Structure 1
């Protein structure tokens, strides 16, 4: 995989961007063993790239990349190699990077299970719900059902409900609209408790 390593470290951000853009297709073609050995480090490098466009493209692929990891050892790879970089991306300086991540991060919940979601992902979701960028907040709200299925409404309501209620008064109408759209699901789940 020297060619891949060269492409991931290419001087031109456009080359690195295209690698990030085609990463999932590459992962599917290569298979699980080479993915573990070569693609995981390459993906980590792309998440830490100096160009925001490369980081945003890579961030948007986090869920798909993790889903395509070999099931044997997937959780371990995510926890030790992917999640530390994801934590950095949550507070990235670029709003496109944060927004791209917010649109897929909830999808990690089913792969990590209840305990890891509560311990490691919920704090990230809370950070994103309070992000200054409305697209980040909107993307998190729009994907709350993924987390609800994994941790249950009780845990979700205890940890995220105060932030969600606060967002009902958000200055951006799209965020308020997303909260309204999510309310029936939340109310139905709370009533059934």
Structure 2
């Protein structure tokens, strides 16, 4: 029998109370260490939700320091060429609340930022976001409402950064997955050519 949790009280009874330090660790302004973390992070996950409550989580990655600090309460993340679905961006237009998780490879703790986002199509600081001569066409500007460091337990349990646990070949190649799941009408040869060595050369165009 499935037993659901249906109230905040029931959830708290089950999990217990957080420690005082855990309950009060969130801040609204960037500390110097937060700036250093953002400067060292090459990857983040951006979570958004639409007006209807539907959710999206999008990976964002660039050379370390890609999240630009505008001031003590504001950061900006550049857009790079992708599949042009813009699910998260459309969500932001309807609902500005976002959650972000910044990772540093090899680190088991993470930096979490929650806030209100807006889309900006140009600003003087776009020049600071150029990579390999490519200027972003838009950026997500986030006004920080909550920032704190998240503990290492999930990464330790998953052994995420331990190379001996990595199994990149446990599933078929990217080309084969696309062929089987998304585009059966496209030849495997064409997909392998698309996702071959040239793919990494065109990630900014």
TM-score higher than 0.5 here? no
In the superposition, the TM-score normalised over structure 1's length comes to 0.27
Bigger fraction of residues in helix: 1
Bigger fraction of residues in strand: 2
Instruction: Name which one, 1 or 2, has greater alpha-carbon Rg.
Output: 2
Larger RCO (alpha carbons 8 Å, 6+ apart): 2
